[in-house]
Structure 1
Amino acid sequence: MTGGMLTIGMLGGMSWESSAEYYRLANTVVRERLGGLHSAKIVLHSVDFAEIERMQVEDRWDDAGKALAEAAARVQAGGADFLLLCTNTMHKVFDQVQAAVDIPMIHLGDTTAAAIKQAGLTTVGLLGTGFTMDQPFYRERLESHGLRVLLPSMQDRATVHRIIYDELCLGIVRDESRRAYQDVIARFEGAEGIILGCTEIELLITQTDVPLPVFPTTRLHVEAAVDRAVG
């Protein structure tokens, strides 16, 4: 079986807290599927998040896209058969990264939308970084699958974003922040489910914390990757 397993490319480090989760989950899911000592074949390129975060804040998305495109080419050169961009926010430059490599990329929005539709839902609340919530790139990808995407209020968005960058990206997981997220989720009107649309949120919120179905984008992304890798 291993001979036939494809190598998963991961472009990570945004933040490394979430990339560690990608790495852990991919190996866990492969072990669940194949048993024994099986683990995932992975090429991981991890960037310095401080540089990328500065580009985000300064609205230099083209520079960020170039930096990630270069990194993606290295992942391909390392022997990856396909590629995951291990961050929701940087899917803003997905097309720029895909154009830099010959290997296919699995879009996080597509794997999330597929899971929501499989659950029979159409209207979902989106939590993520301010960039992911405020800008159209992620919502429109979900809406292209026929979903209706609800956003928190401006004030709630600021809270969600702050907790991601000031706490979760630094590995800080606090009960009061979990409660703050639960309060934000409770204020969604008409949501049938909640997208945990930032890889770090899964460090804070799990299904047991929320009465509505949650869609953990990292896990869904990884499961799609393992499906492709092990066939």
Structure 2
Amino acid sequence: MKTLGLIGVLSWYATSVYYTTLNQLANQRLGNSHSSKLLLFSVDFDEFRVLQEVGDWDAVENMLSGIAIQLEKAGADCIVLCANTVHLVADTIRQKIKIPLLHSAEETAKEIVSQNMHKVALLGTKFTMDNPFFKDRLSQFGITTIVPDEADKEYVHASIFNELTKGLFKDETKDNYIEIIDKLKSGGAEGVVFGSAEFSILLNATDCSIPIFDTIAIDSKAAVDFALAN
């Protein structure tokens, strides 16, 4: 089994779900008492929050590249970013390490294509919804991406940082998300990408009127496939 190097960034709540899911999947595949071989570097979220608020993505990239290099030196065979927003600098990180970096948008695109869908909604931080790094990667697979209107984008972004990353998962917020997803369905979305890891704690598939693409589940499956490949 190969060793996975995890970088936890946006919140430790989401990182803990990655950790749990990776171990569960390895055990399901191998049985007995097996679990995943993991190296985890959990970033102080407030340090990242300050950098992203001022738009200093060069500093974010330098920080995460340094961590990826540390994990590589420690024996990681692959890097997993446990947050979608930081994939904005994923390509630059890839250039600074010799091991693979699993890209959430690429793995999500493969899953969308396997479901024969061509138009999906994307929910996440404003950085994920507004910047092209996720949408362009989906476009390379022939997938059109739509996002909420400005008011709903502001709401989603604020709820991530003011509630979800602090471990606050409210029924009212859940209901508002369901309403936003229904609007996106009316706009032609065949499915919705959960582009923030915390969403899978707030919502599940039965809550939504269209299929969900949970990036934690997708990334974790791809990572375990890599770890167990001959």
TM-score range, shorter chain: over 0.9
Matched, 1:158 2:154: yes
Equivalent residue for 1:54? 50
Q: CA deviation at 1:96?
A: 1.8
Equivalent residue for 1:146? 142
Count of residue pairs the alignment pairs up = 227
The 5 A counterparts of 1:83-122 are 83-122=79-118
Equivalent residue for 1:66? 62
Matched, 1:8 2:4: yes
Q: CA deviation at 1:89?
A: 0.2
**Gaps (5+ residues) in structure 1?**
none
- Whether the aligned pair in 2 keeps the contact of 1:66 and 1:96 (CA below 8 Å) is no
Distance 1:19 1:151 in 2: 25
Distance 1:18 1:138 in 2: 19
Distance 1:52 1:97 in 2: 16
Counterpart residue identity of residue 84, structure 1: V
CA RMSD of aligned residues (A): 0.8
- Whether the aligned pair in 1 keeps the contact of 2:18 and 2:220 (CA below 8 Å) is yes
Equivalent residue for 2:181? 185
Question: Percent identity of the aligned residues?
Answer: 37
| TM-score for the superposition, normalised by structure 2 | 0.97
Q: Which runs of 4+ in 1 moved over 2 A?
A: none
Distance 1:162 1:205 in 2: 17
Per-residue deviation, residues 6-55 of structure 1 (Å, max 9, x unmatched) = 00111113211111111000001011111110000001111111111111
Per mean C-alpha deviation after superposition, the further-off stretch among 67-76 and 10-19 is 10-19
- Whether the aligned pair in 1 keeps the contact of 2:182 and 2:209 (CA below 8 Å) is no
- The match for 2:228 among 214, 227, 230 is 230
Per-residue deviation, residues 47-100 of structure 1 (Å, max 9, x unmatched) = 111111111110100111001001111111111111111110000000221122
- Whether the aligned pair in 2 keeps the contact of 1:12 and 1:44 (CA below 8 Å) is yes
Q: Secondary structure at the match of 1:87?
A: coil
Per-residue deviation, residues 160-194 of structure 1 (Å, max 9, x unmatched) = 11111111101111111000100100111101001
- Whether the aligned pair in 2 keeps the contact of 1:123 and 1:192 (CA below 8 Å) is yes
Distance 1:161 1:187 in 2: 17
| TM-score for the superposition, normalised by structure 1 | 0.96
Q: Secondary structure at the match of 2:90?
A: helix
Equivalent residue for 1:167? 163
- The match for 2:206 among 192, 199, 208 is 208
Q: Secondary structure at the match of 1:215?
A: strand
- Whether the aligned pair in 1 keeps the contact of 2:124 and 2:156 (CA below 8 Å) is yes
**Gaps (5+ residues) in structure 2?**
none
Per-residue deviation, residues 109-166 of structure 1 (Å, max 9, x unmatched) = 0110000000110000110001100111111111111100011000000111111111
Equivalent residue for 1:34? 30
Distance 1:202 1:230 in 2: 25
- The match for 1:17 among 2, 9, 13 is 13
Equivalent residue for 1:217? 215
Counterpart residue identity of residue 101, structure 1: I
